[in-house]
Chain A
Protein backbone atom coordinates (compact mmCIF):
# COMPACT_ATOMS: atom_id res chain seq x y z
CA UNK A 1 0.00 0.00 0.00
CA UNK A 2 1.45 3.36 -0.98
CA UNK A 3 -0.54 5.48 1.38
CA UNK A 4 1.43 8.68 1.06
CA UNK A 5 0.77 8.78 -2.68
CA UNK A 6 -2.95 9.14 -2.12
CA UNK A 7 -4.58 12.52 -1.62
CA UNK A 8 -6.53 13.10 1.61
CA UNK A 9 -9.88 12.61 -0.09
CA UNK A 10 -8.66 9.48 -1.91
CA UNK A 11 -7.33 7.95 1.27
CA UNK A 12 -10.58 8.55 3.14
CA UNK A 13 -12.60 7.18 0.21
CA UNK A 14 -10.34 4.13 0.05
CA UNK A 15 -10.83 3.43 3.77
CA UNK A 16 -14.59 3.79 3.35
CA UNK A 17 -14.68 1.15 0.64
CA UNK A 18 -11.87 -1.04 1.93
CA UNK A 19 -11.57 -0.87 5.75
CA UNK A 20 -8.11 -2.55 6.02
CA UNK A 21 -6.77 0.58 4.34
CA UNK A 22 -7.34 2.24 7.69
CA UNK A 23 -3.96 0.86 8.68
CA UNK A 24 -2.52 3.17 6.08
CA UNK A 25 -4.08 6.18 7.69
CA UNK A 26 -2.85 5.13 11.12
CA UNK A 27 0.71 4.62 9.93
CA UNK A 28 0.67 7.93 8.10
CA UNK A 29 -0.10 9.96 11.20
CA UNK A 30 0.85 7.85 14.20
CA UNK A 31 4.33 9.15 14.94
CA UNK A 32 3.29 12.81 14.60
CA UNK A 33 0.25 12.21 16.80
CA UNK A 34 2.29 10.30 19.37
CA UNK A 35 4.62 13.30 19.68
CA UNK A 36 1.71 15.70 19.87
CA UNK A 37 -0.10 13.78 22.63
CA UNK A 38 3.16 13.58 24.59
CA UNK A 39 3.62 17.35 24.30
CA UNK A 40 0.07 18.02 25.29
CA UNK A 41 -0.26 15.56 28.17
CA UNK A 42 3.18 14.29 29.19
CA UNK A 43 1.68 10.79 29.39
CA UNK A 44 3.71 7.57 29.35
CA UNK A 45 4.02 5.54 26.16
CA UNK A 46 1.29 3.07 27.13
CA UNK A 47 -1.08 5.87 28.12
CA UNK A 48 -0.44 7.56 24.77
CA UNK A 49 -1.22 4.25 23.07
CA UNK A 50 -4.59 4.19 24.82
CA UNK A 51 -5.38 7.77 23.83
CA UNK A 52 -4.41 7.07 20.22
CA UNK A 53 -6.31 3.79 20.05
CA UNK A 54 -9.50 5.46 21.26
CA UNK A 55 -8.89 8.38 18.90
CA UNK A 56 -8.40 6.16 15.84
CA UNK A 57 -11.58 4.25 16.64
CA UNK A 58 -13.36 7.62 16.79
CA UNK A 59 -11.77 8.66 13.50
CA UNK A 60 -12.95 5.42 11.90
CA UNK A 61 -16.50 5.86 13.20
CA UNK A 62 -16.63 9.44 11.93
CA UNK A 63 -15.05 8.89 8.52
CA UNK A 64 -18.24 9.89 6.74
CA UNK A 65 -18.25 13.17 8.63
CA UNK A 66 -14.86 14.19 7.24
CA UNK A 67 -15.10 17.58 5.59
CA UNK A 68 -12.92 17.48 2.49
CA UNK A 69 -12.36 21.24 2.67
CA UNK A 70 -10.08 20.48 5.63
CA UNK A 71 -6.63 18.94 5.49
CA UNK A 72 -6.98 15.34 6.65
CA UNK A 73 -4.11 16.00 9.04
CA UNK A 74 -5.98 18.90 10.68
CA UNK A 75 -9.11 16.77 11.07
CA UNK A 76 -7.15 13.88 12.58
CA UNK A 77 -5.24 16.23 14.89
CA UNK A 78 -8.54 17.80 15.99
CA UNK A 79 -9.96 14.45 17.07
CA UNK A 80 -6.76 13.45 18.86
CA UNK A 81 -6.53 16.87 20.51
CA UNK A 82 -10.09 16.62 21.82
CA UNK A 83 -9.54 13.08 23.06
CA UNK A 84 -6.35 14.14 24.87
CA UNK A 85 -8.07 17.10 26.51
CA UNK A 86 -10.94 14.78 27.55
CA UNK A 87 -8.45 12.41 29.17
CA UNK A 88 -6.75 15.26 30.99
CA UNK A 89 -10.08 16.56 32.28
CA UNK A 90 -11.20 13.13 33.44
CA UNK A 91 -8.04 12.92 35.53
CA UNK A 92 -8.42 16.53 36.70
CA UNK A 93 -5.14 17.41 35.03
CA UNK A 94 -4.11 20.35 32.88
CA UNK A 95 -1.93 20.65 29.80
CA UNK A 96 1.67 19.70 30.42
CA UNK A 97 4.00 22.49 31.50
CA UNK A 98 5.86 23.83 28.47
CA UNK A 99 9.00 23.99 30.58
CA UNK A 100 8.99 20.19 30.86
CA UNK A 101 9.47 19.80 27.13
CA UNK A 102 12.96 19.47 25.68
CA UNK A 103 14.12 22.90 24.58
CA UNK A 104 15.63 21.38 21.44
CA UNK A 105 12.15 20.43 20.20
CA UNK A 106 11.08 24.02 19.88
CA UNK A 107 11.28 25.68 16.51
CA UNK A 108 13.69 28.51 17.36
CA UNK A 109 13.25 30.16 13.98
CA UNK A 110 9.51 30.23 14.55
CA UNK A 111 10.02 31.85 17.97
CA UNK A 112 12.49 34.39 16.51
CA UNK A 113 10.07 35.32 13.75
CA UNK A 114 7.29 35.48 16.30
CA UNK A 115 9.10 38.03 18.48
CA UNK A 116 10.66 39.96 15.61
CA UNK A 117 7.19 40.60 14.28
CA UNK A 118 6.48 42.99 17.16
CA UNK A 119 9.84 44.68 17.59
CA UNK A 120 11.08 44.73 14.05
CA UNK A 121 14.43 43.50 15.37
CA UNK A 122 16.04 40.20 14.57
CA UNK A 123 16.12 37.95 17.58
CA UNK A 124 18.88 35.42 17.79
CA UNK A 125 18.36 32.99 20.58
CA UNK A 126 20.76 31.51 22.98
CA UNK A 127 19.53 28.51 24.96
CA UNK A 128 19.03 30.61 28.14
CA UNK A 129 16.92 33.12 26.31
CA UNK A 130 14.85 30.35 24.80
CA UNK A 131 14.33 28.97 28.28
CA UNK A 132 13.07 32.39 29.36
CA UNK A 133 10.63 32.58 26.45
CA UNK A 134 9.31 29.10 27.19
CA UNK A 135 8.72 29.95 30.86
CA UNK A 136 6.97 33.12 29.80
CA UNK A 137 4.74 31.15 27.39
CA UNK A 138 4.00 28.67 30.16
CA UNK A 139 2.46 31.41 32.28
CA UNK A 140 -0.36 31.96 29.78
CA UNK A 141 -3.81 30.36 29.84
CA UNK A 142 -4.50 26.76 28.80
CA UNK A 143 -6.19 28.06 25.65
CA UNK A 144 -3.05 30.00 24.73
CA UNK A 145 -0.78 27.05 25.56
CA UNK A 146 -2.71 24.83 23.12
CA UNK A 147 -1.94 27.39 20.43
CA UNK A 148 1.74 27.72 21.43
CA UNK A 149 2.28 23.95 21.26
CA UNK A 150 0.75 23.76 17.79
CA UNK A 151 2.66 26.80 16.58
CA UNK A 152 6.12 26.46 18.11
CA UNK A 153 6.45 22.74 18.73
CA UNK A 154 4.31 21.32 15.93
CA UNK A 155 5.01 24.07 13.40
CA UNK A 156 1.39 24.40 12.28
CA UNK A 157 0.23 27.54 10.48
CA UNK A 158 -2.66 29.74 11.66
CA UNK A 159 -5.22 28.09 9.39
CA UNK A 160 -4.29 24.62 10.62
CA UNK A 161 -4.39 25.76 14.25
CA UNK A 162 -7.79 27.32 13.63
CA UNK A 163 -9.07 24.05 12.09
CA UNK A 164 -7.62 21.85 14.82
CA UNK A 165 -8.85 23.91 17.75
CA UNK A 166 -12.06 25.05 16.00
CA UNK A 167 -11.35 28.71 16.72
CA UNK A 168 -11.53 31.62 14.28
CA UNK A 169 -8.16 32.51 12.74
CA UNK A 170 -8.56 36.01 14.19
CA UNK A 171 -8.74 34.57 17.72
CA UNK A 172 -5.62 32.47 17.13
CA UNK A 173 -3.65 35.42 15.81
CA UNK A 174 -4.96 37.74 18.54
CA UNK A 175 -3.82 35.33 21.27
CA UNK A 176 -0.41 34.96 19.64
CA UNK A 177 -0.06 38.70 19.18
CA UNK A 178 -1.05 39.45 22.77
CA UNK A 179 1.42 36.94 24.15
CA UNK A 180 4.11 38.21 21.80
CA UNK A 181 3.70 41.79 23.07
CA UNK A 182 3.79 40.71 26.70
CA UNK A 183 6.88 38.53 26.24
CA UNK A 184 8.77 41.27 24.44
CA UNK A 185 7.83 43.69 27.24
CA UNK A 186 9.07 41.23 29.85
CA UNK A 187 12.16 40.58 27.76
CA UNK A 188 13.05 44.26 27.86
CA UNK A 189 12.14 44.70 31.52
CA UNK A 190 14.60 42.01 32.46
CA UNK A 191 17.26 43.75 30.41
CA UNK A 192 17.79 40.79 28.11
CA UNK A 193 19.25 42.21 24.98
CA UNK A 194 19.29 40.64 21.61
CA UNK A 195 23.03 40.55 21.28
CA UNK A 196 23.56 38.81 24.63
Chain B
Protein backbone atom coordinates (compact mmCIF):
# COMPACT_ATOMS: atom_id res chain seq x y z
CA UNK B 1 0.00 0.00 0.00
CA UNK B 2 2.83 2.35 0.88
CA UNK B 3 4.46 1.66 -2.48
CA UNK B 4 1.17 2.44 -4.21
CA UNK B 5 0.93 5.70 -2.26
CA UNK B 6 4.41 6.70 -3.34
CA UNK B 7 3.67 5.64 -6.86
CA UNK B 8 0.57 7.81 -7.12
CA UNK B 9 2.18 10.88 -5.53
CA UNK B 10 5.26 10.42 -7.73
CA UNK B 11 3.08 10.12 -10.84
CA UNK B 12 1.16 13.28 -9.92
CA UNK B 13 4.33 15.28 -9.20
CA UNK B 14 5.96 14.01 -12.40
CA UNK B 15 2.97 15.08 -14.44
CA UNK B 16 3.02 18.52 -12.79
CA UNK B 17 6.72 18.92 -13.60
CA UNK B 18 6.49 17.42 -17.10
CA UNK B 19 3.55 19.54 -18.20
CA UNK B 20 4.67 22.56 -16.17
CA UNK B 21 1.25 22.75 -14.54
CA UNK B 22 0.74 25.87 -12.45
CA UNK B 23 -2.05 26.67 -10.02
CA UNK B 24 -4.53 29.13 -11.48
CA UNK B 25 -3.96 32.60 -10.12
CA UNK B 26 -5.98 34.14 -7.30
CA UNK B 27 -7.06 36.81 -9.77
CA UNK B 28 -8.65 34.09 -11.92
CA UNK B 29 -10.80 32.95 -9.01
CA UNK B 30 -11.60 36.51 -8.05
CA UNK B 31 -12.78 37.26 -11.60
CA UNK B 32 -14.77 34.02 -11.73
CA UNK B 33 -16.54 34.97 -8.49
CA UNK B 34 -17.14 38.46 -9.84
CA UNK B 35 -18.60 37.03 -13.06
CA UNK B 36 -20.96 34.77 -11.11
CA UNK B 37 -22.14 37.64 -8.90
CA UNK B 38 -22.57 39.86 -11.93
CA UNK B 39 -24.78 37.20 -13.54
CA UNK B 40 -26.80 36.88 -10.31
CA UNK B 41 -27.40 40.62 -10.22
CA UNK B 42 -28.15 40.96 -13.92
CA UNK B 43 -30.65 38.08 -13.70
CA UNK B 44 -32.39 39.66 -10.72
CA UNK B 45 -32.36 43.00 -12.55
CA UNK B 46 -33.95 41.51 -15.68
CA UNK B 47 -36.54 39.66 -13.58
CA UNK B 48 -37.27 42.76 -11.51
CA UNK B 49 -37.43 45.08 -14.47
CA UNK B 50 -39.81 42.72 -16.28
CA UNK B 51 -41.98 42.70 -13.18
CA UNK B 52 -41.85 46.52 -13.11
CA UNK B 53 -43.17 46.66 -16.65
CA UNK B 54 -45.89 44.12 -15.86
CA UNK B 55 -46.92 46.19 -12.83
CA UNK B 56 -46.93 49.19 -15.12
CA UNK B 57 -49.26 47.35 -17.52
CA UNK B 58 -51.54 46.16 -14.74
CA UNK B 59 -51.71 49.51 -12.97
CA UNK B 60 -53.51 51.00 -15.95
CA UNK B 61 -57.04 50.14 -15.04
CA UNK B 62 -58.31 50.54 -18.59
CA UNK B 63 -56.18 47.62 -19.67
CA UNK B 64 -59.36 45.74 -20.56
CA UNK B 65 -60.39 48.50 -22.96
CA UNK B 66 -57.38 48.15 -25.19
CA UNK B 67 -58.29 44.95 -27.03
CA UNK B 68 -61.62 46.51 -28.01
CA UNK B 69 -59.98 49.32 -29.93
CA UNK B 70 -56.83 47.76 -31.30
CA UNK B 71 -56.39 46.09 -34.68
CA UNK B 72 -55.66 42.37 -34.71
CA UNK B 73 -51.92 42.77 -35.33
CA UNK B 74 -51.71 45.36 -32.54
CA UNK B 75 -53.48 42.96 -30.18
CA UNK B 76 -50.97 40.27 -31.09
CA UNK B 77 -48.11 42.70 -30.41
CA UNK B 78 -49.63 43.67 -27.09
CA UNK B 79 -50.08 40.07 -26.00
CA UNK B 80 -46.61 39.28 -27.28
CA UNK B 81 -45.04 42.07 -25.24
CA UNK B 82 -46.88 40.97 -22.08
CA UNK B 83 -45.67 37.44 -22.74
CA UNK B 84 -42.09 38.62 -23.34
CA UNK B 85 -41.99 40.46 -20.02
CA UNK B 86 -43.58 37.55 -18.23
CA UNK B 87 -40.93 35.24 -19.69
CA UNK B 88 -38.31 37.83 -18.63
CA UNK B 89 -39.67 37.72 -15.10
CA UNK B 90 -39.61 33.92 -14.91
CA UNK B 91 -36.23 33.47 -16.59
CA UNK B 92 -34.61 36.26 -14.59
CA UNK B 93 -35.82 34.71 -11.33
CA UNK B 94 -34.82 31.17 -12.29
CA UNK B 95 -31.36 32.20 -13.53
CA UNK B 96 -30.88 34.38 -10.46
CA UNK B 97 -31.64 31.35 -8.27
CA UNK B 98 -29.39 29.02 -10.23
CA UNK B 99 -26.52 31.50 -10.49
CA UNK B 100 -26.64 32.22 -6.78
CA UNK B 101 -26.26 28.50 -6.17
CA UNK B 102 -23.02 28.69 -8.15
CA UNK B 103 -21.46 31.31 -5.90
CA UNK B 104 -18.82 30.10 -3.46
CA UNK B 105 -21.19 29.59 -0.54
CA UNK B 106 -24.42 29.59 -2.52
CA UNK B 107 -25.13 25.94 -1.79
CA UNK B 108 -25.39 26.55 1.94
CA UNK B 109 -28.63 28.49 1.89
CA UNK B 110 -31.80 26.39 2.07
CA UNK B 111 -33.89 26.29 -1.11
CA UNK B 112 -36.94 27.88 0.52
CA UNK B 113 -34.87 30.77 1.89
CA UNK B 114 -33.15 31.27 -1.43
CA UNK B 115 -36.47 31.32 -3.30
CA UNK B 116 -37.70 33.89 -0.79
CA UNK B 117 -34.53 35.94 -1.25
CA UNK B 118 -34.88 35.91 -5.05
CA UNK B 119 -38.56 36.90 -4.79
CA UNK B 120 -37.69 39.78 -2.46
CA UNK B 121 -34.87 40.85 -4.83
CA UNK B 122 -37.06 40.70 -7.94
CA UNK B 123 -39.94 42.54 -6.23
CA UNK B 124 -37.55 45.15 -4.83
CA UNK B 125 -36.03 45.87 -8.23
CA UNK B 126 -39.49 45.69 -9.86
CA UNK B 127 -41.05 48.23 -7.52
CA UNK B 128 -38.01 50.49 -7.74
CA UNK B 129 -38.06 50.27 -11.52
CA UNK B 130 -41.79 51.07 -11.53
CA UNK B 131 -41.52 53.94 -9.03
CA UNK B 132 -38.58 55.59 -10.76
CA UNK B 133 -40.26 55.06 -14.14
CA UNK B 134 -37.23 53.27 -15.46
CA UNK B 135 -39.82 50.98 -17.06
CA UNK B 136 -41.09 53.82 -19.29
CA UNK B 137 -37.55 54.85 -20.19
CA UNK B 138 -36.66 51.26 -21.05
CA UNK B 139 -39.78 50.87 -23.18
CA UNK B 140 -38.88 54.00 -25.13
CA UNK B 141 -35.35 52.74 -25.73
CA UNK B 142 -36.67 49.36 -26.78
CA UNK B 143 -39.07 51.00 -29.22
CA UNK B 144 -36.21 53.07 -30.63
CA UNK B 145 -34.03 50.06 -31.37
CA UNK B 146 -36.84 47.58 -32.03
CA UNK B 147 -39.55 49.52 -33.89
CA UNK B 148 -41.88 46.51 -33.91
CA UNK B 149 -42.18 46.90 -30.14
CA UNK B 150 -45.14 49.15 -29.32
CA UNK B 151 -44.74 50.97 -26.02
CA UNK B 152 -47.73 50.67 -23.73
CA UNK B 153 -48.18 54.43 -23.49
CA UNK B 154 -48.33 54.81 -27.26
CA UNK B 155 -51.11 52.22 -27.54
CA UNK B 156 -52.91 53.95 -24.74
CA UNK B 157 -52.69 57.36 -26.44
CA UNK B 158 -54.17 55.89 -29.60
CA UNK B 159 -57.03 54.27 -27.71
CA UNK B 160 -57.85 57.48 -25.85
CA UNK B 161 -57.84 59.61 -29.00
CA UNK B 162 -61.20 58.37 -30.31
CA UNK B 163 -63.85 60.92 -29.38
CA UNK B 164 -66.26 59.42 -31.91
CA UNK B 165 -66.16 56.24 -29.86
CA UNK B 166 -66.49 58.05 -26.55
CA UNK B 167 -62.83 58.03 -25.47
CA UNK B 168 -60.88 61.24 -25.08
CA UNK B 169 -57.81 62.29 -23.13
CA UNK B 170 -55.57 65.27 -22.75
CA UNK B 171 -54.28 67.97 -20.48
CA UNK B 172 -56.54 70.40 -18.61
CA UNK B 173 -55.92 73.81 -20.14
CA UNK B 174 -58.22 75.93 -18.03
CA UNK B 175 -60.71 75.57 -15.19
CA UNK B 176 -63.55 77.70 -16.48
CA UNK B 177 -65.78 77.25 -13.43
CA UNK B 178 -66.82 74.47 -11.06
CA UNK B 179 -68.60 72.51 -13.79
CA UNK B 180 -66.67 73.42 -16.95
CA UNK B 181 -63.10 72.88 -18.06
CA UNK B 182 -61.10 73.23 -21.24
CA UNK B 183 -58.90 70.35 -22.33
CA UNK B 184 -56.36 69.96 -25.11
CA UNK B 185 -56.23 66.42 -26.58
CA UNK B 186 -53.24 64.61 -28.12
CA UNK B 187 -54.10 65.87 -31.58
CA UNK B 188 -53.92 69.45 -30.32
CA UNK B 189 -57.66 70.06 -30.48
CA UNK B 190 -59.18 72.07 -27.62
CA UNK B 191 -62.42 70.81 -26.07
CA UNK B 192 -64.78 72.57 -23.71
CA UNK B 193 -66.16 69.94 -21.35
CA UNK B 194 -69.26 70.12 -19.21
CA UNK B 195 -68.71 68.04 -16.08
CA UNK B 196 -72.06 68.70 -14.42
CA UNK B 197 -73.46 65.25 -15.30
CA UNK B 198 -70.23 63.34 -14.92
CA UNK B 199 -68.71 61.04 -12.37
CA UNK B 200 -65.29 62.37 -11.35
CA UNK B 201 -63.08 59.66 -9.95
CA UNK B 202 -61.61 60.33 -6.51
CA UNK B 203 -58.04 60.23 -7.75
CA UNK B 204 -58.60 63.00 -10.29
CA UNK B 205 -57.34 66.40 -9.28
CA UNK B 206 -58.92 69.01 -11.49
CA UNK B 207 -56.05 71.44 -11.92
CA UNK B 208 -54.51 73.09 -14.92
CA UNK B 209 -51.90 70.94 -16.57
CA UNK B 210 -53.17 67.64 -15.16
CA UNK B 211 -53.64 64.78 -17.64
CA UNK B 212 -57.08 63.15 -17.60
CA UNK B 213 -59.06 60.55 -19.51
CA UNK B 214 -62.67 61.23 -20.30
CA UNK B 215 -65.44 58.80 -21.20
CA UNK B 216 -68.53 60.20 -22.82
CA UNK B 217 -70.41 60.71 -26.05
CA UNK B 218 -69.74 62.90 -29.04
CA UNK B 219 -72.84 64.80 -30.12
CA UNK B 220 -72.23 67.12 -33.06
CA UNK B 221 -69.25 69.13 -31.81
CA UNK B 222 -69.86 68.72 -28.10
CA UNK B 223 -68.47 65.97 -25.98
CA UNK B 224 -70.92 64.93 -23.23
CA UNK B 225 -68.79 63.81 -20.32
CA UNK B 226 -69.96 60.79 -18.30
CA UNK B 227 -66.80 60.02 -16.39
CA UNK B 228 -63.38 61.58 -15.72
CA UNK B 229 -60.41 59.36 -14.82
CA UNK B 230 -56.77 60.12 -14.06
CA UNK B 231 -54.40 59.47 -16.96
CA UNK B 232 -52.06 57.19 -15.03
CA UNK B 233 -54.49 54.84 -13.32
CA UNK B 234 -53.76 54.46 -9.64
CA UNK B 235 -50.53 56.37 -9.81
CA UNK B 236 -51.96 59.71 -10.90
CA UNK B 237 -48.51 60.63 -12.13
CA UNK B 238 -46.55 59.87 -15.24
CA UNK B 239 -43.22 60.36 -16.85
CA UNK B 240 -44.49 63.67 -18.17
CA UNK B 241 -46.19 64.69 -14.96
CA UNK B 242 -43.62 67.29 -14.08
CA UNK B 243 -43.40 68.68 -17.61
CA UNK B 244 -44.96 72.02 -18.43
CA UNK B 245 -46.70 70.67 -21.50
CA UNK B 246 -47.68 67.10 -20.77
CA UNK B 247 -49.48 66.41 -24.04
CA UNK B 248 -46.46 67.41 -26.10
CA UNK B 249 -44.20 65.50 -23.77
CA UNK B 250 -46.22 62.32 -24.22
CA UNK B 251 -46.54 62.81 -27.98
CA UNK B 252 -42.81 63.38 -28.34
CA UNK B 253 -41.89 60.43 -26.24
CA UNK B 254 -44.07 57.95 -28.06
Give me the interface of A with B, judged by CB distance under 8 Å. Answer: 16, 19-20, 22-23, 26-27, 30-31, 45, 49, 52-53, 56-57, 60-65, 67, 69, 162, 166-171
Which A residues are in CB contact (< 8 Å) with B105?
A: 67, 69
Which partner residue on chain B sits nearest A24 by CB separation?
A: B9
A62 touches B108 (CB 8 A): no
Q: In the complex, what distance in Å separates the CA atom of A172 from the CA atom of B4?
A: 34
Q: Which residue of B5, B11, B104, B107 is within 8 Å of A167 (Cβ)?
A: B107
Restricting to B7-32, which residues have a CB under 8 Å from any CB of A? Answer: 7-9, 11-13, 15-16, 21-26, 28-29, 32
Knowing A60-B16, A65-B29, A167-B107, the reply to whether A26 touches B8 (Cβ < 8 A) is yes
A45 to B4, CA, bound (A): 10
A19-B23 Cα distance, complex, nearest whole Å: 10
Residues of chain B touching chain A, judged by Cβ–Cβ distance below 8 Å, are 1, 4-5, 7-9, 11-13, 15-16, 21-26, 28-29, 32, 104-105, 107-111
List of A residues within 8 angstroms of B28 by Cβ? 64
A23, A30, A49, A167: the one within 8 Å of B13 (CB): A23
Q: Are B16 and A22 in contact (CB under 8 A)?
A: yes
Report the bound CA distance from A19 to B21 in whole Å: 10
Given contacts A64-B24, A169-B110, 15 further A-B contacts (CB under 8 A): A26-B5, A26-B8, A26-B12, A27-B5, A52-B8, A53-B15, A56-B12, A57-B16, A61-B22, A61-B23, A64-B28, A67-B104, A69-B105, A168-B109, A169-B108
Q: Is the CB of A64 within 8 A of B29?
A: yes
Q: State whether A57 touches B12 (Cβ < 8 A).
A: yes
- Interface residues of A: mostly helix, strand, loop or mixed? helix
The 5 A-B pairs at the shortest CB distance, nearest first, are namely: A166-B107, A26-B9, A65-B29, A63-B23, A170-B110
The answer to whether B8 touches A162 (Cβ under 8 A) is no
Q: How far is the CB of A146 from chain B (nearest CB, A)?
A: 14
| Residues from chain A with Cβ under 8 Å of B32 in the complex | 65
**Distance of A49 Cα from B4 Cα, bound (Å):** 9
Asked whether B107 lies within 8 Å of A20 as measured between CB atoms, the reply is no
Please state if B13 and A162 are interface contacts (CB–CB under 8 Å): no
How many angstroms from the CA of A171 to the CA of B29 in the assembled complex?
Answer: 27
A169 to B23, CA, bound (A): 30
A41 → chain B closest CB, angstroms: 16
